[in-house]
Amino acid sequence: MRKLFLLLMGCTFLFFSACKPRVIKIVVDPTLESKESVASLQEALQQAKQEKKDDSSALIEIIVQPGEYNLTSPLVITPELNGLSIIGAGSDKVSVKGSLPLELKWKVLNDNIYEASVAENLDFDQLIADGEAQIMARYPNYNEDAGMWQGYAKDAISVERIASWKNPVGAYFHVMHKGKWGGFHYRITGVNEDGTAILEGGHQNNRPSAPHPEYRMVENVFEELDSPGEWFLDREKHKLYYWPEKNMDIANVNFEVSVIKSLVETKGSIENPVKNISIQGITFENTQRTFMEEYEPLLRSDWTIYRGGAVFMEGTENCSIENCEFTDLGGNVIFASAYNKGLKIAGNHIHDCGASAICFVGDPSAVRSPAFQYGQFVALDKMDTISGPQNDLYPRECIAENNLIHRIGRLEKQTAGVEISMAMDITVRHNSIYDVPRAGINIGDGTWGGHILEYNDVFNTVLESGDHGSFNSWGRDRFWHPNRHKMDSMTTANPNMPKWDAIHTTIIRNNRFRCDHGWDIDLDDGSTNYHIYNNLCLNRGIKLREGFYRVVENNIMVNNSLHPHVWFANSKDVFKKNIVSDAYQDVRLLGWGKELDYNLFPNEESMIKSQIYERDLNSAFGDPLFKNPEKLDFNVVENSPALALGFVNFPMDQFGVQKAKYKAIAKTPEVPVLKNHASREQKNSPVVAWLRNNIKSVDTEEEQSAYGLNNTEGVIVLSVWNGSPAVKGNGLKKGDVILEVEGEKTKNSLIFLQIVKKYQKLGEIRLVVMRNQAEQALLVRTK
C-alpha cells in the first residue's frame, strides 16, 4: 500500500507540473553582453510572439536591462501575447523614449544662435538637450511664474507682430477660452489681406467661444527665437536653430527629437481581450504633442479629447502599469479607452506632460440617447428610457492608486490628473495631484457612476483656468436640458430620470482638497447621485449646482461653506453634520433640498439665513475647536460643539500617495490662515431698483458660474415687477444678466444706471442679456 501511495503521489506531482505554464524569460540588453539577449524591445516582442505560437500557454517575461531604448514606432501588444510581463530594471535605470538622437554639426549663425542641418524627412516638435526638454521659440518668452501658458500677451498674433515675421505659416497660436474654461490651439496657415492670421484648429474644447482677448501665446516662429533654451525648426530648409544656455558646451550636448506620439498600444476587444499584461519599472518619455490631432466630444461635458496616449489600453482585462515614471510626454499619458476591466495603474510618477495623466474613457456607443454639446438635447419622445449602458465598451472595475501626479497639462488646459467619462466603478485612491491648470480629478458625466474617490490629496489646481474645482464633475445626462424650466418639468414628471445614467452612487470620501481659484469640490451642471463625506476642504468649500440625490455629510469646510446653485424644488439633496466657516452661498434656488441640518456654523447670523427657509433648525454655531490646524490637523477636540451634532473625526494623516519613495518628495497643500467669522462681512453689492425691478452687480465667481458668464461683470435681474415697462413683451425676466446697453458694457449696476440715464428718454433701449447661458438681444421699453 505504501508503494502504491507513493506512486500515486508521484503521478499527481507530475500531472500538476505538466499543467503549470512554462515561464520563458527574454532579456533585452542594448550592450548584447549575453549571447541570448536581444538589443531592442521590438525584437523581444517578436520573439515573444514566436514563443507563444510554439506554446500558447507559456508565460513570457521580457526582462529589460538598464539603458535607453529609442522607439520609432509604438510597442503593440495584442491578445496573442496574453500573460506577458515587461519588467524593467527600475524606472531610474530603464528609459523607453519616443525620440531619436541627432548627430548635429553646429555652425554659428550670430552672437547667440547656432544652426545645424537635419534630415529632410525629420519632423519634430520636441527638442531634448541632455535629457531636458527645450522651449520652442515663442512669444512671450517662457516664465514659470507668469500664469497662463507660462507667459501670455494680448498682441501674440496682432497684425503688427505678424507683419514682423517672414513666414508665419506653421506657427501655433494658443489661447484661453473666453470664460477661462480650458483653452484652444490653432495652426497659422496663412495671412489675410488685412494682415490677420488664417487659423486652423480650435476643436479642443466642447464649449465654443471667441478666443480670450488677453491670455494668448504663439510659438514656432523664427523671429521669436530670442532667449536661451529656445529653438526653431525650419521645415523647408531642414535647418535647426538653437540658442544655448550660457556656458553650455553645445558640441558635447546630446540632442534628441520626438518622432512618435505613442509608446505602447495594447489593443484587444471584448470578444478577444488582451489579458494579464504587466508593465513595470520603466521610465517613458519624449513623445510628440497631440493638440492638433482629431478630437472627439466627451458627451455634453466641456471636454473634447484626443483618444490616445503614451500608453494606450483598449480591450483589456486584468492588466497593470506599476512603478513607472512618465515625463516629457507631449499629450495624454495613460489612456484606458472603451472596454477595460480590472486595469491597475499604481505606484507611478507622472509629471511634466502636455495633457492629462490618467484617462478612463468609454465609447459613446455604450451611451443611450447620447448628445454631444451643451445646447443639444434628445427629445423625450425619441429618447431611450432604459437605465444604464447599452453595450460593454467602457472601463469598469479599474483603479488608479498611489500615484504622484504633478505639472501635467503643460500645454493643453482642458485636462486633469484623472479623467473619468462613460465608465463604471473606477477607484481613485491615495494619489497626490497638484500643480495642474484645471481639475485634479474630473468626472465628465453621470454615466454610470459607482466610482470611489478616497484618500487623495488634491491642491494647487485651476492654476491656469477658472470656474472649476480641485474635483470637478458634470452630469449633463439624459435628464439634463439647457432650459432649466423644461428640465424641472421633465424630472418632476419622471422622478427616476436623473438615475437613468447615474445608476450607481459615486462616493467621494476621506480626501483633502484645496483650490484657490474655484471650489474645493465642484459638482457642476446636473451632477447626480453622489455621497460626499469625511473630506477636508481647505479653502473654497463645496459647490452643488442643479442635480439630484447628493448626500454631503461629515465634511470640514475651512474658511468657506456650501455653495448651492440653482437647485430644483425636489433635488433630494442632503447636507448634514458638516463644519462650515460661513453662511451658505446660495444662488437662484427653487428649493432648499431634502435635509439641511445638524451643521456647525461659525456664528448665529450665518445660521439664521437658512433657518428662514426652515432648514438647519437643529444646527448650532460656535468655534469648532480644531486640534492642530497649523499642522493641517482639523480634527476637533473632545468638547467641540460639532461632536454634539453628530460630527465624527476622520483620519488626517492618510491623504495622498503612500509609497515611501514618492511620499518623501510629494508636496502638501499650503496651511490656511483661519479667518475670523465672528461677524459676517458684507460681501455683495447693494440691491437697487430700476423701473421697479430689483437688480445688483455680479460680484462673485459663484454668480459667474451660476449664470454661465465669461467673467464677473454684468447686472443681475433679481426680481421683476409685472407692471414694469421693461418686462412687457419680450422684455426682462428674472434671472437675466444685463451685459450691454446700446452697445456699451454694463460692468456693474452703477455703470448700468449711468448708461440708461442717457438713453431712457428714447422710450426703448437695446440690451444684450445672458439668459439660460446664452446671449440674447432685447428691445426693452422704458416708458
Mean pLDDT over 407-422 rounds to 98
Mean pLDDT over 85-102 rounds to 98
Q: How confident is the model at residue 14 (pLDDT cuts 50, 70, 90)?
A: very low
pLDDT digits (tens, 9 = 90+) for 377-413: 999 999 999 999 999 999 999 999 999 999 999 999 9
Q: Is pLDDT above 70 for 694?
A: yes
Mean pLDDT over 530-557 rounds to 98
Q: Is pLDDT above 70 for 594?
A: yes
Q: How confident is the model at residue 606 (pLDDT cuts 50, 70, 90)?
A: confident
Residue 3, pLDDT score: 57
Q: How confident is the model at residue 675 (pLDDT cuts 50, 70, 90)?
A: confident
Q: What is the CA radius of gyration of the chain?
A: 29
Q: Is pLDDT above 70 for 681?
A: no
Mean pLDDT over 717-733 rounds to 90
Contacts of 59 (CB under 8 A, 6+ apart): 21, 22, 23, 24, 83, 84, 85
Residue 13, pLDDT score: 46
Contacts of 660 (CB under 8 A, 6+ apart): none
Per the omega criterion (within 30 degrees of 0), is the bond before 641 cis?
A: no
Residue 331, pLDDT score: 98
pLDDT digits (tens, 9 = 90+) for 343-372: 999 999 999 999 999 999 999 999 999 999
Q: Where on the phi/psi map is residue 273: left (φ > 0), alpha (ψ -120 to 50), or beta?
A: beta
Amino acid letter, residue 667: K
CA distance 479 to 385: 10
pLDDT digits (tens, 9 = 90+) for 232-242: 999 999 999 99
Q: Is there a contact between 537 and 513 (Cβ–Cβ < 8 Å)?
A: yes
Lowest mean per-residue pLDDT among 52-61, 97-106, 131-140, 624-633: 52-61
Q: Is pLDDT above 60 for 156?
A: yes
Residue 539, pLDDT score: 98
Q: How many residues does the chain have?
A: 783
Contacts of 246 (CB under 8 A, 6+ apart): 228
Q: Is pLDDT above 70 for 686?
A: no
Alpha carbons within 13 A on the beta-carbon side of 763: 0
Residue 632, pLDDT score: 98
Q: Is there a contact between 436 and 358 (Cβ–Cβ < 8 Å)?
A: no
Residue 139, pLDDT score: 98
Q: Is pLDDT above 80 for 755?
A: yes
Taking alpha carbons only, the member of 584, 387, 376 closest to residue 480 is: 376
pLDDT digits (tens, 9 = 90+) for 32-49: 887 789 999 999 999 999
Amino acid letter, residue 441: I
Lowest mean per-residue pLDDT among 184-193, 348-357, 715-724: 715-724
Q: Is there a contact between 479 and 491 (Cβ–Cβ < 8 Å)?
A: yes
Instruction: Name the strand (E) or helix (H) holding 51.
Output: helix 41-54
Residue 176, pLDDT score: 97
CA distance 766 to 739: 11
Buried-state track 150-178, b at ≥16 Cβ within 10 A, e below 16: bbbbeebbbeebbeebeebeebbbbbbbb
Give percent of the chain with pLDDT exceeding 70: 96
Beta strands in 511-628 (DSSP E): 512-513, 519-523, 530-533, 536-537, 542-544, 550-553, 556-557, 562-564, 574-576, 595-597, 600-601, 620-621, 626-628
**Strand 94-97, strand 283-285: pairing:** parallel
pLDDT digits (tens, 9 = 90+) for 619-663: 999 999 999 999 999 999 999 999 999 999 999 999 999 999 999
Residue 640, pLDDT score: 98
Residue 763, pLDDT score: 85
Chain-wide mean pLDDT for the chain? 94
Residue 684, pLDDT score: 61
Residue 753, pLDDT score: 81
Residue 279, pLDDT score: 98
pLDDT digits (tens, 9 = 90+) for 433-462: 999 999 999 999 999 999 999 999 999 999
Q: Is pLDDT above 60 for 596?
A: yes
Give percent of the chain with pLDDT exceeding 90: 87
Residue 10, pLDDT score: 52
3-state secondary structure of 448: coil
CA distance 123 to 102: 12
Q: How many CB atoms lie within 10 A of CB 704?
A: 22
How far is Cα of residue 278 from the mean position of the Cα atoms in its chain? 26
